[in-house]
């Protein structure tokens, strides 16, 4: 096989991978939006076949041979192809270690688990979900051994989501946050709280839907390439850089919930839509890592979306969408309300300051579950104990406790820390952005163009052309979590007059 | 390869075919419901890869060898496996004749064409759609030659949709209809028309959505296994017999349009949901042919749904859904209104009597297009001429003319005649059903259970376990289109007091 043939082979293989992914994504999107309730079985069979095909493709000896050929002739490759070879080799190496039957059975399991979790959450019945979760944990412990038998199992999984990240790194990262943020949260807790009652007036879903359309405009999300749907748990899904979907969930007694979901998922979508089309249909398409992805979503949601200039810029338009509900509210009161920091039960609705404690709780539980020091049946008890310990809260039921997130039902163990890392990356990016240009002037006029242009240049456009570490380096410089703690300290000192 | 190995091989192959179909269906469903406008490209790449995989699967020499083995040991096979071998062999034989590149390019073309057709229809601009249609016709002429080079191209395509049916058969079938129905339509045209104005009062989509839910209940469609969505052109899609979707389109100034779409698609769904689960994930899953499928949808829509007993049974409930709009209407007036027979422009909204003329027009155009005696650019002119000739109508624009149906954009040439055949099958089934049991007593109480049980026993449950001809034989006996013309004559004689 010569280089040209090898390149053709990997191009075709990547196109197939794209197609199998697109197919699975479409089945998933259907499942969580419009599919009738009792239809998981057939979809499970389809997803399992697709996973098997993907597995077969990545473990095909011809692909391995093509990668060998290309690695031997590395010098001839441009960056685009060199990176494809690198990423494909990584996928091949991992998958080759998972037997095909296990890989397919796992695909079927996560599909079932998604369905069971939905029902368990609805009925707040952990026992219903427990058998699924036990199987998911067992598989992930096993897979971790396949990925890297020399690493502790949880470290091997962490490495899947954010390369180079391990328990030691995260323990020290969270230690910095704990050291700086716990006293800050305590100080905030001693100050009077802003009024948030107006956020819980009646906001009809239909009015909120129109408001979402407006927010998508503000984020400059082209509706010909970016759709919005409604699901239990908001998410972003990308087929290509020309076809991205976000979802949200409307609560008629909570304006901020969907508003900030849309901005958060809109940040993910912004990233996907801005990736250079030259990587389309390859393994380099889409955002480079979970951590970098969350840095973008949380940048738009918190750093921009909850900033005073942004709210001042859009508030009069907001009043037009909700004339009765917001008649007696000012931009200043709205800004204070959406930044109210206070321990709460639901991660996705937590404020920017206490959010990391939610992540730390999940991190500790995952670490123990995968490490083998916590049994699945003890998850609710441990969850509730940690919420009491870290946030001083009694968890009233599992729906608002350990069943609240979809991640574990989708088989993601090791993902949660990315949220905290992403938040920290974002704060450091802001510092660099402020050094490079006037950030807040345009934002105060409701113009996110310059912010998006900076992020596109430093982060979005690359997709997987650079490694996650290279992207972080490009946008942040040497990573330092104190940028994040400084940012929060400054913001909450102003908000609460500390 | 022994019989056991061969059976395992064809089972696995059919499961893969199921998965590729489910994946394509899901991408299609997404495309016509929620996908953003300019996203056809990526979906086209995915669909083309999936079509390529399906092609590879069906042309795999190992599959051919397994089929050889099983054919050689036919005596050992039960009906279930014997029919699988028969249908798989048929698909293999056809596909082996289409080169993989053409098959994949065609999958991409139909995906694009769907999108272009939508826009062309919206803008009533045939020229926009013309290049696509030209390519589609050229491909179908070519494919017809691959299917059966000894047949005239249109006959080869007809045989794809309804085995054994050809131009000679249809010419004589339509001749019977023409002979009996043209005078009947003329006679009806000379009688005073019933008032239909109340059908065009304002019926808000939201009220109609709730009414659709009710109609699905009447058809006993289990919502845990059957969903309803909204699309430009209503259709039914089945993933499995446990997962079926119907769609409709709400016009706020037309109650009957969505009402009868829901009952029509509900009839298709009824069929799919009633297929014996033993054929799941095989080539025998789902309805057996287009003609038989249409016989079921049109049975529920027209024979039941537009009957006097059915309307009398549900009318008081209808009034509860539309209290203002239907306050001054009686069941009798409603029955007359939804059976008003009058030449009209839109096939899907045509009455039961003139419907076949719409089909005859499409049949003639398709026959000429595929036969090579009509150029694509002349389609609008021919369409308009035939509507004038057969129905006495001037077609005001292509949106309400030759761009109204989605079939050609999806690559279906030879499908339309199935609608007329299905209607005729249904009338003959009714005659047999009336011989076997009391049809109208239960219907008059709003109970479709016995009708569905009869159809399930004679048609639905088999899926592809019997051939289309065997199913028609089982439910109709020897096919005779005069049952259909007699049924229409009786019905319209009563309605119009001829």
* Residues forming a β-bridge with A237: A245
Other C-beta atoms closer than 10 Å to the C-beta of B330 total 12
b or e along B234-244 (b: 16 or more beta carbons within 10 Å of the residue's beta carbon)? bbbbbbbbbbb
Averaged pLDDT of chain B: 95
Tokens 């089929």 -> residue: B67
Report the alpha-carbon distance of residue A77 to residue A70 in Å, rounded: 8
Distance CA B269, CA B136 (A): 29
Q: CA neighbours within 13 Å on the CB side: how many for A442?
A: 15
Q: What is the 3-state secondary structure (H, E, C) of A406-428?
A: CCHHHCCCCCCHHHHHHHHHHHH
Instruction: Tell which residue, B176, B183, B265, B188, has the closest CA to residue B484.
Output: B176
- Tell me how close the Cα of B47 comes to any Cα of chain A, in angstroms: 7
Instruction: Inspect the interface and report whether the beta carbons of B38 and A224 lie closer than 8 Å.
Output: yes
Residue-wise pLDDT for B107-128, tens only, equals 889 989 988 999 999 999 999 9
Q: Which residues pair with B227 in a beta bridge?
A: B245
pLDDT class for A454, splitting at 50, 70, 90? Answer: very high
| Chain B residue with the nearest C-alpha to that of A28 | B26
- How many degrees, rounded to 5, is the angle at CA B456 between CA B455 and CA B457? 90
How does pLDDT run across B269-327, given as a tens digit for each residue?
Answer: 999 999 999 999 999 999 999 999 999 999 999 999 999 999 999 999 999 999 999 99
Give alpha helix (H) positions in B1-78: 3-33, 40-58, 61-72
How far apart, in whole angstroms, are the C-alpha atoms of residue B233 and residue A328?
A: 46
Element (H, E) at A77: none
Predicted local distance difference test score (pLDDT) of residue B433: 98
When pLDDT is cut at 50, 70 and 90, the band that residue A95 belongs to is confident
Catalytic residue among B86, B162, B265, B366: B265
- pTM comes to 0.89
Q: What is the mean pLDDT of residues A332-343?
A: 96
SS3 B467: coil
Considering CB atoms only, which of A27, A48, A240 is closest to B42?
A240
The torsion defined by the Cα of A447, A448, A452 and A454, in degrees rounded to 10, comes to 70
Quick check: A319 contacting B, CB < 8 Å? no
* DSSP letters for A243-306: EEEEEE--BTTBHHHHHHHHHHHHHHHHHHHHS-GGGTTSTT-S-S-HHHHHHHHHIIIIIITT
Q: How far apart are CA A3 and CA A15, in angstroms?
A: 18
| pLDDT higher than 90, residue A235 | yes
| Closest CA–CA distance from residue A279 to any residue of chain B (Å) | 13
Active-site residue A162, yes or no? no
| ipTM for this prediction | 0.89
Which pLDDT value is given to residue A34? 93
* Topology, domain B167-496: 1.10.1370
Per residue in A156-178, pLDDT tens?
999 887 777 899 999 999 999 98
Question: How many contacts does A have with B, using Cβ atoms within 8 A?
Answer: 128
Residue A50: its chain B contacts at CB < 8 A? 19, 23
Give the C-alpha separation, B247 to B228, whole Å.
Answer: 5
**Gyration radius of chain A over CA positions:** 23
Rounded Cα distance between A63 and A97, Å, is 15
Strand order in the sheet with B236-240: B226-230, B243-248, B236-240
Best mutation site among A39, A204, A224 for testing chain B: the one with the most B CBs within 10 Å? Answer: A39
pLDDT band with cut points at 50, 70 and 90 for residue B164? confident
Which chain A residues are closer than 8 Å to B54 by Cβ?
none
Do A97 and A146 form a contact (C-beta atoms < 8 A)? yes
- Local confidence band at A127 (pLDDT 50, 70, 90 cut-offs): very high
Report which DSSP code applies to A237.
Answer: E
Evaluate if residue B104 carries a pLDDT over 90.
no
| CA–CA gap between residue A33 and residue A227 (Å, rounded) | 13
DSSP code at position B59: T
Instruction: Check residue B192 and report its DSSP letter.
Output: P
Q: Specify the pairing of strand A236-240 against strand A243-248.
A: antiparallel
State which H helix or E strand residue A227 sits in: strand A226-230
- Please identify among residues 228-267 of chain B the ones whose CB lies closer than 8 Å to any CB of chain A: 229, 239-240, 242-243, 245
Angle among Cα A261, A453, A286 to the nearest 5 degrees reads 60
CB B24 within 8 A of CB B49: no
DSSP symbols for B399-461: GGTTTS-STTTTT-SS-THHHHHHHHHHHHHHHHHHHHS--HHHHHTT--HHHHHHHHHHTGG
pLDDT tens-digit series, residues B321-378: 999 999 999 999 999 999 999 999 999 889 999 999 999 999 999 999 999 999 999 9
């Amino acid at each position: 096989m010569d280089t040209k043939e090898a390149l053709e082979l990997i191009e075709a293989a990547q196109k197939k991978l794209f197609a199998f992914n697109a197919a699975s994504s479409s089945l998933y999107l259907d499942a969580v939006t419009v599919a009738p309730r009792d239809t998981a079985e057939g979809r499970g069979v389809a997803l399992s076949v697709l996973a098997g095909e993907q597995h077969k493709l990545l473990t095909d000896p011809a692909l391995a041979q093509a990668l060998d050929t290309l690695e031997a002739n590395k010098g001839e490759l441009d960056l685009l192809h060199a990176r494809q070879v690198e990423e494909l080799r990584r996928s091949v190496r991992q998958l080759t270690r998972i037997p095909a039957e296990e890989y397919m059975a796992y695909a079927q399991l996560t599909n079932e688990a998604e369905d069971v979790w939905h029902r368990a959450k609805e009925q707040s019945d952990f026992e219903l979900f427990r058998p699924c979760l036990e199987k998911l944990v067992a598989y992930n412990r096993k897979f971790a051994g396949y990925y890297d038998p020399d690493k502790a199992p949880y470290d091997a999984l962490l490495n899947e989501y954010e390369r180079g990240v391990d328990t030691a790194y995260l323990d020290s990262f969270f230690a910095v946050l704990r050291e700086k943020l716990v006293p800050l949260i305590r100080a905030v807790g001693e100050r009077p709280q802003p009024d948030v009652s107006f956020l819980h007036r009646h906001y009809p879903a239909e009015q909120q839907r129109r408001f979402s359309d407006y927010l998508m405009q503000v984020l400059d999300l082209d509706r010909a390439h970016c759709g919005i749907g409604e699901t239990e748990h908001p998410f972003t899904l990308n087929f290509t850089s020309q076809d991205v979907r976000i979802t949200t969930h409307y609560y008629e007694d909570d304006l901020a919930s969907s508003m900030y979901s849309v901005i958060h998922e809109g940040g993910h979508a912004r990233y996907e839509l801005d990736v250079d089309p030259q990587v389309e249909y390859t393994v380099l398409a889409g955002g480079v890592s979970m951590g970098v992805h969350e840095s973008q979503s949380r940048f738009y949601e918190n750093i921009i979306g909850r900033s005073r200039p942004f709210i001042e810029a859009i508030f009069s338009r907001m009043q037009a969408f909700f004339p009765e509900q917001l008649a007696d509210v000012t931009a200043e009161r709205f800004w204070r309300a959406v930044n109210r920091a206070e321990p709460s039960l639901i991660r996705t609705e937590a404020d920017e300051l206490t959010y990391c404690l939610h992540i730390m709780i999940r991190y500790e539980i995952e670490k123990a579950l995968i490490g083998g020091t916590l049994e699945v049946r003890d998850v609710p008890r441990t969850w509730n104990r940690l919420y009491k310990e870290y946030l001083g809260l009694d968890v009233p039921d599992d729906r608002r406790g350990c069943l609240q997130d979809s991640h574990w039902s989708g088989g993601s163990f090791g993902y949660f820390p990315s949220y905290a890392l992403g938040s920290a990356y974002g704060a450091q990016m802001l510092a660099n952005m402020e050094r490079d240009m006037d950030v807040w002037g345009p934002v105060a006029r409701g113009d996110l163009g310059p912010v998006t242009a900076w992020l596109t240049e430093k982060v979005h456009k690359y997709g997987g052309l650079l490694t996650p570490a290279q992207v972080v380096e490009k946008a942040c410089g040497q990573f330092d979590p104190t940028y994040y703690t400084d940012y929060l300290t400054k913001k909450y000192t102003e908000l609460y007059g500390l």
